Structure 1
Amino acid sequence: MQSAITAEVVEPYAEALMSLAQQKNITDAIGDDVRSLLTLIQESPELKTFLASPLVKAEDKKAVIKQVAGEQINPFLLNFLLLLVDKKRIGFIEGVCSKYLEILRKLNNIVLAEVTSAVRLYEGEAEKLVTKIKNITGATGVEIQTKIDPDIIGGVIIKVGSQVYDASLKGQLRRISLNVLGI
């Protein structure tokens, strides 16, 4: 959960990035780059720590950003990242990226579904879930984030916004035990 201070920093920057992307008509392209950047940061705790460290010089942070992301991302996003370094806000990059994607989903009427399953979903299963989630939410598109949790035994747990749909075997067993106990 974000703190109010983090939200005060994250939202204006994410909205500024969205405004720029809309002016250039590259909202989806920036969204793809932002997803890649988020994955890179989440998979590299060292990079995250390096960027957030107040002890690392701005020039060094910029050099690493250019080296890591330079050619692969849109020049507007690269310049935006360098601006975050100048403004001493690069430590908030994960929050800014997540907020940008949230704004992009709203803009495109796409919902984010967090799907937890006991085993990896196969392509056919994921497609069925997307169709079901579209029907439930009325959204035109669905973006799925998957997590594997063997503790749920089988089935899936789907979280869309504040709604949770528990179709896991563990959830069914819990409901049965509550019924048996008369709770």
Structure 2
Amino acid sequence: MKKGISAGEIVEPYAKALMSIAREQDLVDRMGEDVGMLREALQSSQELQQFLDNPIVKAESKKSVLRQIAGDSVHSYTLNFLMLLVDRGRILFLDDICQNYQAQLRQLKNIVLAEVTSAGELSDGQKDAIRDKVKAFTGASDVELEIEIDPDLIGGIVIRVGSQVLDASLRGQLRRLSLSLS
């Protein structure tokens, strides 16, 4: 990689190019599913990420593995895009490109991402209640939840939507109480 070039300067143009192709071909949702599946594969397998990031591994080997992973489950345009990333030496940015594509898709469809940190597992009813609150708060047409479990919260939840944070955790309440007492 050239000096002075940040990952953002690489990630965003590729994600925009993928979105442009998806819009031209009326495949925005389909490619959204594809990049979601690819992100899950990368996040669930550290070995896969290391394999794709390794500069010593030949491009043909990377392409072969990607073809096996993708199989018939991804659209041919998505597969061609993956091959292009390998050819251009940009496959190590795959997760970031997919994440950027998903952000563009959410913006296009007026969907917000709510990052929820909870002390324990949330029921479907609780997830629906969070979605409703975030919809009312943001005016979005839909809400995607990204849920993380953090037992250190003791109880309650923390919701992040963009730069806004709603801390309804017991830890947060204790912190606020301690600040007000001091």
Same fold (TM over 0.5): yes
- 1:68 corresponds in structure 2 to 69
Q: Distance in 2 between matches of 1:98 and 1:160?
A: 16
Structure 1 length as normaliser, TM-score?
A: 0.96
**Residue identity opposite 1:34 in structure 2:** V
Q: Distance in 1 between matches of 2:70 and 2:128?
A: 31
Runs of 4+ in 1 over 4 A off after TM superposition: none
Structure 2 length as normaliser, TM-score?
A: 0.96
Superposed CA RMSD:
1.0
SS for the counterpart of 1:88 is: coil
**Size of the alignment, in residue pairs?**
179
Deviation at residue 4 of structure 1 after TM alignment: 6.1
- 1:172 corresponds in structure 2 to 173
Deviation at residue 173 of structure 1 after TM alignment: 0.9
**Residue identity opposite 2:107 in structure 1:** K
Matched-pair contact (CA < 8 Å) for 1:70–1:78: no
Deviation per CA, 1:122-147, whole angstroms, max 9, x where unpaired? 10000000000001111111110000
Identity across aligned pairs (percent)? 51
Stretches of structure 1 that go unaligned for 5 or more consecutive residues are none
Deviation at residue 70 of structure 1 after TM alignment: 2.1
SS for the counterpart of 1:73 is: coil
Deviation at residue 75 of structure 1 after TM alignment: 1.1
Matched-pair contact (CA < 8 Å) for 1:31–1:104: yes
Deviation per CA, 1:47-71, whole angstroms, max 9, x where unpaired? 0011111100000000000011121
Q: How does 1:84-163 map to 2 (within 5 A)?
A: 84-163=85-164
Q: How does 1:15-34 map to 2 (within 5 A)?
A: 15-34=16-35
**Residue identity opposite 1:61 in structure 2:** K
Matched-pair contact (CA < 8 Å) for 1:116–1:156: yes
**Residue identity opposite 2:54 in structure 1:** S
Stretches of structure 2 that go unaligned for 5 or more consecutive residues are none
Deviation at residue 36 of structure 1 after TM alignment: 1.1
- 1:14 corresponds in structure 2 to 15
